C-alpha cells in the first residue's frame, strides 16, 4: 500500500490560540459548571437544576450582547432547563445531551472526561480520503455508535476505505430520522448512544486509521423541538428554504447567531476529534455579509486544526455549481476544501439507467461524462432545461481533490420514491462499471453504505415525529411529491416503523456468493487506487480523455508525476458488445483489473495485452465493460483528445 507522509504541525502552528467552548453548560476541572445562553429577547433568565425533582432555581447575570451566565457546582449528569421571562421552561439551545427527547430537559456533559487514545492521530490529507457514507440507525442491527465499532476492521482493513462519513447525528424528534430535522446542534442523538457513544466511535475509528466526517445542517433546524424562537432572532423571514425558515446570518442580531453556528463547527472538531465537516445543502444558506458564513466556518475550523496539530477538512454540498465555494479566499472564494459533485453522479446515472425525469433531463450523453471528468462541473454557464436558465460556473482550474464523486449517496437513493439502490436498477456489469469509474477517477470517491456488496434493501425516507399534525403533513407532502409517478400508491409511509426497518442493511449478504464477488471487485479496485502511482493522485492535469468514434466508449489515460507510469481505463456504456479501434494513447498495455473476471462473477472477456498505435487491431468489448491497464512500452505522444 502507498502511505503518504503525515504532515505534522509546525512550531508556528502550535502557537496558534486554541478555541475553547463557551456557550452552553461547560464543565471545568475545578468542580463547577458555567451556564451561558444567548437570550436577547428576555429580561430575566434562570437556570433550573433538577427540574423533575427539587427544582433549584438560579438567577443568571446579563453579561452583554444579550448573553446571560452563571457558575454553579452542578455536576455532569445533572438535568437542567432555562426559565425565561414568561416562565416557560426550555432546553438549552446548546445542549450537549437530550436524554429524554427534544421537549425534555438538557443534561450536563463533561466532554473533557472522554477517554481518548488517539493522541498520535493527525488526520489524513484530503487526497487520501476514500469516503464511506453511512446512516448510524440503519447500518447495523443495533443502530448505534457502539454497534458500528465491530465493523471497523471490515471497513478499514478488508474493504480499504479511509474515512467514515456519518449522516447527521444531532438530536432529532423520536428515534428514527435521516437526521436533517435535528433541533439540538450540539447534542449527539441519544438513541444512537449519545455523547459517550459518539466519542467512543471516533476514537475507535482513529485506532483503525479511519478519519471521521460529520454531516452538519446549517441551512435550517427541524420544526419539532425547535425552541430557539423564544431565545433570540435565530431565524429570518427575508429568505425561505425548502425545509422551513432560513437561519439569520445577515440580519439584525445575526452576529451571535453566526457565533452559535461557528462555535458548533469548532465544537465537533475539538470536543469530538472530528476530522471533516460535510455542510449540507449550502445553497439553502443565505448570507449577504461581507464575509460569508461559509468562509468564516472554513477559516476558523482550519485555524483550529492548526492549533490542534490535525488536518480538518470542510466539504460542502451544493447544487449551484458555484466555484466560489472551493476557490481560495485570496482569490475571492470561500476557501472550503471540497464539494460534492452532483454533475458527476447525474452524468453516470443517466448513462446507465436512461432515466430523464427531473434534474436528470439535463444529462444523458457521453460528452457530459467526459466533461465531468475534465472540468468537474458539467454545467458551467450554459442553459439548463431543468432550471430553464443558464446554470453554473467553470471549475476547470480547481484540482481534482476538491470534488467528491459517487454513483450512490443517501440523497440519490433515498429521495427516490421507492428508495432503490443502483443494484436494483442496472445489471451487475453496469454496477461494476459505475464503481470502476468512481474509484479510478482523479477525484475523492464516496461509497454509500452497502453498495460495495450490492445490498438489496432500499434506503427509504423515514421519520418518527411525535407531533401528529407534523407527521401527517410529512405523509401528505411525500405523496404529493410523487403523485405523477406510476407507483404513487406504493410510497412508503415515513412514520411507519417498518419503513425504517426495511432500510436496515443486511451485512451478512456480503458473505453470499453473488454478493461476495461484487465485494471482492470493490476491494481490488480500492487496493489498486491506493497502490498504483498513476491512480493515487487526484490530478486531472495528468489525465487525457479519448473517444472511440461514435461508440459509447470512453478511454482515460492517467499518468504519475514522473510521467513514467501510466494507466489506461476503458469504460464501455454499451449494453451490447462493441468493437472499437482506438488510435490513442499510443503504447502497449497489459491488464491490471477487469470487470469481466471469474473472481468478480463474470466469465473472462475483454481485451488482454494489446497495443495502440499504427496498425493495431480492434478491441472487442463485452457489455458495460470496465478495465484498467498498465502501460508497458510506447510513447506519451499526443493524439486527438476530447479537449
Burial class from Cβ neighbours inside 10 Å (0-12, 13-18, 19+) for residue 65 reads exposed
In order, the DSSP letters of 259-303 are HHHHHHHHHHHHHS---EEEETTGGG----SSS-HHHHHHHHHHH
Integer CA distances (angstroms), 528 to 1, 41, 111, 533, 634, in order: 9, 58, 40, 9, 22
Residue 104 Cα distances to 47, 95, 107, 170, 362, angstroms: 14, 11, 10, 15, 47
Helices vs. strands in the chain: H and E counts, helices first: 14, 31
> Distances in Å between the alpha carbon of 298 and those of 18, 99, 266?
15, 31, 10
- For residue 627, what are the β-bridge partners? 570, 594
Q: Is 20 exposed, middle or buried, given 0-12, 13-18 or 19+ CB atoms closer than 10 A?
A: exposed
To the query of whether residue 128 is one of the catalytic residues in this protein, the response is no
Handedness of CA 107, 110, 116, 122 (dihedral sign): positive
Three cell numbers written together for 111: 466532554
Grid coordinates standing for 207?
Answer: 485506532
Distance, in Å, from the CA atom of 573 to the CA atom of 412, rounded to the nearest integer, reads 20
Are the C-beta atoms of residues 51 and 93 closer than 8 Å to each other? no
Beta strands in 135-256 (DSSP E): 163-166, 170-171, 184-188, 211-216, 235-241, 244-247
Question: Which one of 127, 165, 271, 317 is the catalytic residue?
Answer: 317
Q: In what order do the strands lie in the sheet with 551-559?
A: 543-548, 551-559, 566-572, 626-633, 587-594, 610-612
DSSP string of 18-70?
A: PP---SEEEE-TTS-EEEEEE-TT-S--EEEESTTTT-EEEEPEEEETTEEEE
Angle, helices 428-440 vs 513-531, to 10°: value is: 20
Marked catalytic residue, from 256, 263, 280, 429: 280
Cis before 277 (ω within 30): no
Neighbours of 115 (CB within 10 A): 8
Distance between CA atoms of 132 and 215, rounded to whole angstroms?
12
Strands 338-340 and 313-316: parallel
Distances from the Cα of 334 to the Cα of 166, 260, 300, 303, 315, angstroms: 24, 19, 12, 14, 11
Q: Give start and end residues of each alpha helix (H) in 482-512.
A: 497-502
Please say if 280 is a catalytic residue: yes
Q: Which residues are catalytic?
A: 280, 317
Amino acid at each position: 500500500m502507498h502511505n503518504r507522509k503525515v504532515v505534522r504541525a509546525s512550531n508556528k502552528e502550535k502557537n496558534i490560540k486554541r478555541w475553547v467552548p463557551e456557550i452552553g453548560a461547560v464543565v471545568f476541572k475545578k468542580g463547577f459548571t458555567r451556564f451561558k445562553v444567548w437570550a436577547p429577547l428576555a429580561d430575566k433568565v434562570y437556570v433550573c437544576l433538577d427540574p423533575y425533582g427539587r427544582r433549584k432555581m438560579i438567577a443568571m447575570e446579563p453579561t452583554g450582547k444579550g448573553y446571560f451566565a452563571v457558575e454553579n457546582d452542578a455536576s455532569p449528569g445533572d438535568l437542567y432547563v432555562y426559565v425565561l421571562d414568561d416562565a416557560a421552561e426550555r432546553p438549552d439551545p446548546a445542549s450537549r445531551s437530550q436524554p429524554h427527547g427534544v421537549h425534555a430537559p438538557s443534561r450536563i456533559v463533561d466532554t473533557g472526561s472522554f477517554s481518548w487514545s488517539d493522541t498520535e492521530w493527525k488526520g489524513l490529507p484530503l487526497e487520501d480520503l476514500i469516503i464511506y457514507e453511512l446512516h448510524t440507525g440503519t447500518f447495523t442491527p443495533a443502530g448505534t455508535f457502539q454497534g458500528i465499532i465491530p465493523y471497523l476492521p471490515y471497513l478499514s482493513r478488508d474493504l480499504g476505505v479511509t474515512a467514515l462519513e456519518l449522516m447527521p447525528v444531532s438530536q432529532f424528534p423520536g428515534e428514527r430520522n435521516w437526521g436533517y430535522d435535528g433541533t439540538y446542534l450540539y447534542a449527539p442523538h441519544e438513541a444512537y448512544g449519545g455523547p459517550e457513544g459518539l466519542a467512543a466511535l471516533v476514537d475507535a475509528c482513529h485506532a483503525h486509521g479511519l478519519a471521521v466526517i460529520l454531516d452538519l445542517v446549517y441551512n435550517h433546524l427541524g420544526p419539532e423541538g425547535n425552541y430557539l424562537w423564544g431565545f433570540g432572532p435565530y431565524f429570518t423571514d427575508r429568505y425561505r428554504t425548502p425545509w422551513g425558515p432560513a437561519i439569520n446570518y445577515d440580519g439584525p442580531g445575526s452576529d451571535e447567531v453566526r457565533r452559535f453556528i461557528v462555535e458548533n463547527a469548532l465544537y465537533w472538531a475539538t470536543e469530538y476529534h472530528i476530522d471533516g465537516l460535510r455542510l449540507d445543502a449550502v445553497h439553502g444558506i443565505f448570507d449577504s455579509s461581507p464575509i460569508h458564513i461559509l468562509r468564516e466556518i472554513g477559516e476558523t475550523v482550519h485555524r483550529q486544526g492548526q492549533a490542534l496539530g490535525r488536518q480538518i477538512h470542510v466539504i460542502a454540498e451544493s447544487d449551484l455549481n458555484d466555484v466560489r465555494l472551493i476557490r481560495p479566499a485570496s482569490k475571492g472564494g470561500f476557501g472550503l476544501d471540497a464539494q460534492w459533485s452532483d454533475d458527476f453522479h447525474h452524468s453516470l446515472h443517466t448513462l446507465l439507467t436512461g432515466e430523464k425525469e427531473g434534474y436528470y433531463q439535463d444529462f444523458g450523453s457521453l460528452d457530459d461524462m467526459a466533461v465531468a471528468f475534465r472540468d468537474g462541473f458539467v454545467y458551467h454557464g450554459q442553459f439548463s432545461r431543468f432550471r430553464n436558465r443558464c446554470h453554473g460556473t467553470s471549475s476547470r482550474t480547481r484540482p481534482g481533490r476538491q470534488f467528491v464523486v459517487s454513483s450512490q449517496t443517501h440523497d440519490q437513493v433515498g429521495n427516490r420514491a421507492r428508495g432503490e439502490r443502483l443494484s436494483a436498477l442496472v445489471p451487475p456489469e453496469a454496477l461494476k462499471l459505475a464503481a470502476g469509474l468512481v474509484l479510478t477517477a482523479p477525484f475523492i470517491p464516496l461509497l454509500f453504505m452497502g453498495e460495495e456488496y450490492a445490498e438489496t434493501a432500499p434506503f427509504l425516507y423515514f421519520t418518527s415525529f411525535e407531533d401528529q399534525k407534523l407527521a401527517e403533513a410529512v405523509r401528505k407532502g411525500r405523496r404529493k411529491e410523487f403523485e405523477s409517478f406510476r407507483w404513487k400508491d406504493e410510497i412508503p409511509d415515513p412514520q411507519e416503523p417498518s419503513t425504517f426497518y426495511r432500510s436496515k442493511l443486511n451485512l451478512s449478504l456480503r458473505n453470499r456468493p453473488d454478493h461476495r464477488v461484487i465485494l471482492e471487485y470493490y476491494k481490488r479496485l480500492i487496493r489498486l487506487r491506493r497502490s498504483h502511482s498513476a491512480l493515487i493522485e487526484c490530478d486531472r492535469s495528468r489525465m487525457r480523455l479519448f473517444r472511440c468514434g461514435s461508440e459509447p466508449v470512453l478511454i482515460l489515460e492517467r499518468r504519475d508525476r514522473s510521467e513514467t507510469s501510466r494507466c489506461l481505463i476503458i469504460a464501455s456504456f454499451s449494453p451490447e458488445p462493441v468493437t472499437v479501434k482506438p488510435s490513442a494513447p499510443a503504447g502497449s498495455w497489459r491488464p491490471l483489473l477487469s470487470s469481466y473476471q471469474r473472481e468478480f462473477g463474470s466469465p473472462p472477456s475483454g481485451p488482454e495485452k494489446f497495443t495502440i498505435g499504427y496498425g493495431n487491431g480492434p478491441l472487442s468489448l463485452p457489455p458495460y465493460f470496465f478495465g484498467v491497464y498498465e502501460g508497458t512500452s510506447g510513447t506519451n505522444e499526443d493524439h486527438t483528445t476530447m479537449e
